[in-house]
Structure 1
Amino acid sequence: MDFTECYGDSVSSVAAAARSGCRKRVRRLIKRGFSVDCRDNRGWNALHEAAAAGSKECVQDILAAGGSSRGCSAYVNSLTHEGESACHLAAQRGHLAVVRLLLKAHSNINQLTNDLSCPLYAAVDGGYKEVVELLLCKGAEVNRTHTASCWTCLHQAVYKGHSEIVRILANVCNLEVLDDHKISPLFVAAQYGQQECLEILVNAGANVSTQAADLATPLLIASQEGHQACVDYLLDHGADPNVACSHEWPQLPIHAAAEFGHISVLRRLIAVTDRACDRGDGMVSPLYVAIHSHQSKSVEMLLREGFSPDAQDCTHILGIRSPLSFALCRTSSKPYSESVGLLVAAGASLSEEDWIYALATDETDLLQLILKHRWIPRPETLTRDCSVPHHHGKTVLKLQEVRELLCVALNQVHFAARWLPLLLKAGLEPSLLLQPHMLEQADSEVLNYLLEFVNWSNLSPPLKHILDRRRTEKTWEPCPHFDSVPCLSHMCRLQVRSVLGPDLLMRTDVVQQLPVPSLLHDFLQFRDIPEASYTHSPPSPLSNRLQGYRSTHEHRHVL
């Protein structure tokens, strides 16, 4: 329905003339006896049309005619079907002279519409400063709540960014007035990045540490929305970055900045936030929320600024054990997320469950990533418990990490064709894998590959018994030379590895420094041994493998 269309009879004639602002026609129609009080399908009469059009002269003439028929006060306060008075319509459109005239005619200055607006709220919403000043001068109520969310005129002025009106209202309004969510006007300024309005309110004495019903502070919401200038101003004027802003867990502004990837805001908050949030019990590291929202830039900055890649165990708060485990389970596709790489590079501790992601699969990207940044130490170094934190620029695996690596590896023998070459080339001592379970379960090619790295002639009797049984059962087809004593060249390279250590031999250029022909370098590093081929069918979903591992795996003590 087109509400702007006028009827073609005498009912709308005066209204149509008033809408066009034609005073002569309005006067002529009134003189001829046409009514000024007839309404259209919106409930609008001629006065409403004249006020909305901003025609002061038409309003004067219509008021004179309407007042003579119904009484001036009753006519000037007549309402549309939406509850709008002529004064509201004029204020809504910034018609200062018309508003002044209507108030002089005793228009109700605080008349509410059906949606709880009023002339002052309408003028504030439109940014009409002079109309606002007039209405305030005439006694308009300033702290009344409007709209379904209980906003006041000050809330709306701040939201719209009408700083000059905010400056006026700040002198007469309750600065701490709250809406239905206990949000103050200052909170609104922080939320919508209205920096000038924020400064006006702070200078007028508004509380920078006010908290909404959900405990959110202006600093939290400004950090969440990425309003750098507002964040800086709030911090410079006493806002506390360490106030808990959630009923569920101690969320801080730094969490909001990290979650939404506002790097400049995050940088400022890192400098002023108590580091207890990093590792403290009952706290939650901002790394968790950055990982949750896939904000790798936030993860990178937090780690660079010294936040622990291990953080605290948040199992009881969020059901999350560590940032790395969370990042791994948040990875929906390969290759693994940038956050996983950042955490591994930063030295995040690896648990059994993390090793499952790396070993219980036919993909090797995660294991390669780990080995790129982590150093597998020699067994004697681990058992002496004298490992160093870094080696050749890489973080050294701790004793517990190596134990859990081996435990998972020996429970994932069916994927050994994928992970075994990588681990041995990364310097893992192969004798650690010479366990009964490995020899019983490994494929023939995998078993042969492993035996090529050791002196197969001096295996322990129990292990030899397993091999003999598998040979008899024809589940293992050994390489022909396994029936012979290892040749002298093989014994020599085993001795070289024993002296240098498998880590240095396999991962550095130390072999190039030995006084031997260069043609022997690959041989000394066991590169002549062909890898086993992987022939298994596609694995089951990782979630199923994780659940199966938790319910069936055995701890195999090999160190």
Structure 2
Amino acid sequence: MLMMTQTHLLDTKTHKHNLQPKKAKEATNLMLPSKPGWLAVHQAAWFGKETCLRMLLSAAQPGMINKRTERGETALLVAVSREHLECVEVLLGRGADPDIPNYDKETPLYKACERSNPAIVALLLNHGVVVNTRCIQGWTALQEAVGQNNVEICEMLLKAGAKHNISNMYGITPLFTAAQSGQLATLRFLLKHGADINSQAADGATPLYEATKNGHEQIVELLISQNADANKPGKRGLLPLHIAAQRGSDIIVSMLIPVTSKARVRRTGISPLHMAVERNRDDVLETLIEAGFDVNAQLSEEQSQLYEDRRSTALYFAVINNNINAVRMLLAAGADPNLDVFKPLMVAARQGCIQTVTLLVEHGADINATIPTHPTTFPAVYMFSMKYLPMFKYLLDHGGHALSCFDCTYGSRPHPPIKTSRSERDEMISVPSICRWAGPIIDVLLDYVGHVTLCSRLMEHLDSYSEWSSIKEKAAPPRPLLHLCRLQILQLVGRRRLKKLPLPGGLIRFLHHTPIRRSGHAQMPT
């Protein structure tokens, strides 16, 4: 029996599957497998010892040439994986079966394509291998060659009968693989040979969708030039344009806009504007606005329900992201600030962003809007601005209602505990998180109302801090005639028309409540 000494083996790098054959000890029986199932022929193929391999095969028992390791690898598959061309020639010449796969169903041809080795591929094809065999995940040799962007191998495979329309277990075709991985050369090759440009994976994604998702600009350009359908959605119902807007791919967005149906976009229930603003993609937002996408497009009910606050417009996304530039662009393009159930102005006030508040008010935001699910007797936006007195005053200066803030069901009678829902609705100033600002808030509000009566709860607040006593005096009737005249003029003329009146600047400032505060102005407690 043929024996082999330890000197015939060489050290090498670790095997792909951590199955590097163990060095044979002296006097090892090479006809018996080592621990991982490796015979001497596998070892010789691994190390590329063509002469040793010839000797082993000459003395081998019948069938040993196709013996498989515990992972199902034949000596031929090992030689191909290691790209030892001479060993592959020897094994094929001695009758090795070229179609025996490993236990992952990867054939020698598949491995040769994985290694992107055209010489071994040509050798295997010349020995009549089956070209359309699939691995355990459904990939063919052609799909693997496409993934390696090797046009030379792809040409050989097609000539040998490879089919370019076979999909793997995920419904992915070779052309899809080329688009997904950004392999321009093999993509051109497959299109030239009639591959379906609009094939869809199991989740509905097309090659164009995948190329967009991965930011492959040249691939997108080629697919569009070959009339790829930009109106096929993926699993979530989004079009390639949505994905490009979300990724911030301004160049890809510009390519997709002319070939995307705006009617089809509307049917998805979400605009690419939403996608761009949600991720703060300002350049993409500008491109979409210039292309005429509706800045007032609202999320469908289904899409809106994905958000706890039931947001609807792109403007809302911009405000909640505190993206002032996006807010400015959307408003300048005609965005309506009053479409959402929970108004963007309320969000901006809650965030304390006076710049956004100013922009929204200047473009018609309803300061006195209410929240349907949380009715109040005063504008809901006050709930979020009372802690920011300059903002609170700004809202009052621009049309906010002040009189309703003094409406109280109980008046001078005893009030129920603060925790009750009625007290929260009727008397927001008494909410624990607000009451420490009660004095300054009441002081500001009194500048915008005539004769009012402070309820017992408000009086309690003012009595709790000695420096607020002047506010009680300010509220006591009669109110100054000058102040009452100011209110009457504002009511008759309207704030927007004041500047057009032929009046001295000082009087205009007075009518606008420009602050010239007295020394006894109320302060917050420390």
For the residues of structure 2 that align with 1:267 and 1:480, how far apart are their CA atoms?
A: 61
For the residues of structure 1 that align with 2:189 and 2:522, how far apart are their CA atoms?
A: 72
User: Do the aligned partners of residues 468 and 403 (structure 1) sit closer, same or farther apart at CA in structure 2, a change above 3 Å counting?
Assistant: closer
Contact 2:361/2:367, CA 8 A, preserved across alignment: no
User: Do the aligned partners of residues 340 and 438 (structure 1) sit closer, same or farther apart at CA in structure 2, a change above 3 Å counting?
Assistant: farther
For the residues of structure 2 that align with 1:137 and 1:287, how far apart are their CA atoms?
A: 55
**Match of 2:43?**
49
For the residues of structure 2 that align with 1:470 and 1:47, how far apart are their CA atoms?
A: 96
**Match of 1:315?**
301
**Match of 1:275?**
262
Matches within 5 A, 1:65-144: 65-66=59-60, 70-71=61-62, 74-144=63-133
**Match of 1:386?**
none
For the residues of structure 1 that align with 2:171 and 2:385, how far apart are their CA atoms?
A: 59
Q: Give me the TM-score of the superposition, normalised by structure 2.
A: 0.75
User: Do the aligned partners of residues 75 and 485 (structure 1) sit closer, same or farther apart at CA in structure 2, a change above 3 Å counting?
Assistant: closer
Q: Please, which moves more after superposition, 224-233 or 258-267?
A: 258-267
Contact 2:440/2:523, CA 8 A, preserved across alignment: no
User: Do the aligned partners of residues 109 and 413 (structure 1) sit closer, same or farther apart at CA in structure 2, a change above 3 Å counting?
Assistant: closer
Contact 1:449/1:530, CA 8 A, preserved across alignment: no
CA deviations 1:82-108 (Å, max 9, x no partner) are 221121122222222321221111001
**2:149 corresponds to 1:161:** yes
Secondary structure class of the residue paired with 2:34: coil
**C-alpha displacement at 1:294, in angstroms?**
5.2
Contact 1:449/1:529, CA 8 A, preserved across alignment: no
* Structure with larger RCO (C-alpha < 8 A, sep 6+): 1
User: Do the aligned partners of residues 413 and 39 (structure 1) sit closer, same or farther apart at CA in structure 2, a change above 3 Å counting?
Assistant: closer
**2:396 corresponds to 1:424:** yes
For the residues of structure 1 that align with 2:244 and 2:183, how far apart are their CA atoms?
A: 18
For the residues of structure 2 that align with 1:314 and 1:345, how far apart are their CA atoms?
A: 24
CA deviations 1:336-371 (Å, max 9, x no partner) are 68756654555243234125734774x521x54032
Secondary structure class of the residue paired with 1:435: helix
Contact 2:113/2:141, CA 8 A, preserved across alignment: yes
1:305 to 291, 301, 314: 291
**RMSD between superposed Cα atoms in Å:** 3.9
For the residues of structure 1 that align with 2:68 and 2:203, how far apart are their CA atoms?
A: 39
User: Do the aligned partners of residues 469 and 95 (structure 1) sit closer, same or farther apart at CA in structure 2, a change above 3 Å counting?
Assistant: closer
Matches within 5 A, 1:331-480: 331=321, 335=322, 343=330, 346=333, 347-350=335-338, 351-354=340-343, 357-358=346-347, 361=350, 363-365=351-353, 368-375=355-362, 395-397=363-365, 401=366, 404=369, 409-411=378-380, 417=386, 418=388, 419-425=391-397, 427-428=398-399, 432-435=401-404, 437-438=406-407, 441=427, 443=438, 445-453=440-448, 456=450, 464=452, 466-467=453-454, 477-479=472-474
Contact 2:311/2:342, CA 8 A, preserved across alignment: no
Secondary structure class of the residue paired with 2:297: coil
Matches within 5 A, 1:113-262: 113-146=102-135, 148-171=136-159, 172-246=161-235, 248=236, 250-262=237-249
**Match of 2:496?**
503
For the residues of structure 1 that align with 2:230 and 2:186, how far apart are their CA atoms?
A: 21
User: Do the aligned partners of residues 196 and 481 (structure 1) sit closer, same or farther apart at CA in structure 2, a change above 3 Å counting?
Assistant: same
User: Do the aligned partners of residues 293 and 472 (structure 1) sit closer, same or farther apart at CA in structure 2, a change above 3 Å counting?
Assistant: closer
User: Do the aligned partners of residues 273 and 340 (structure 1) sit closer, same or farther apart at CA in structure 2, a change above 3 Å counting?
Assistant: same
Contact 1:245/1:252, CA 8 A, preserved across alignment: yes
For the residues of structure 1 that align with 2:11 and 2:381, how far apart are their CA atoms?
A: 85
User: Do the aligned partners of residues 217 and 535 (structure 1) sit closer, same or farther apart at CA in structure 2, a change above 3 Å counting?
Assistant: farther
User: Do the aligned partners of residues 533 and 353 (structure 1) sit closer, same or farther apart at CA in structure 2, a change above 3 Å counting?
Assistant: farther
CA deviations 1:182-220 (Å, max 9, x no partner) are 110111111111111111111111000001111111111
Contact 2:5/2:27, CA 8 A, preserved across alignment: no
- Percent of counterpart pairs with the same letter? 25
CA deviations 1:501-529 (Å, max 9, x no partner) are 41354xxxx48x9563x666644532125
**C-alpha displacement at 1:161, in angstroms?**
2.3
How many residue pairs get aligned? The number is 462
Counterpart residue identity of residue 315, structure 1: E
Secondary structure class of the residue paired with 1:82: coil
Secondary structure class of the residue paired with 2:481: coil
Secondary structure class of the residue paired with 1:483: coil
For the residues of structure 2 that align with 1:473 and 1:374, how far apart are their CA atoms?
A: 34
User: Do the aligned partners of residues 324 and 184 (structure 1) sit closer, same or farther apart at CA in structure 2, a change above 3 Å counting?
Assistant: same
1:327 to 317, 322, 337: 317
User: Do the aligned partners of residues 99 and 75 (structure 1) sit closer, same or farther apart at CA in structure 2, a change above 3 Å counting?
Assistant: same
Q: Give me the TM-score of the superposition, normalised by structure 1.
A: 0.71
**Match of 2:274?**
288
Counterpart residue identity of residue 104, structure 1: G
CA deviations 1:535-559 (Å, max 9, x no partner) are 599xxxxxxxxxxxxxxxxxxxxxx
**Match of 1:549?**
none
**Match of 1:486?**
481
Unaligned ranges ≥5, structure 1: 1-9, 22-31, 376-394, 538-559
Counterpart residue identity of residue 477, structure 1: K
**2:57 corresponds to 1:63:** yes
Q: Please, which moves more after superposition, 217-226 or 406-415?
A: 406-415
For the residues of structure 2 that align with 1:330 and 1:11, how far apart are their CA atoms?
A: 78
Contact 2:269/2:299, CA 8 A, preserved across alignment: no
For the residues of structure 2 that align with 1:323 and 1:359, how far apart are their CA atoms?
A: 15
Counterpart residue identity of residue 145, structure 2: A
For the residues of structure 2 that align with 1:438 and 1:168, how far apart are their CA atoms?
A: 86
More helix by share: 1
Contact 2:337/2:364, CA 8 A, preserved across alignment: no
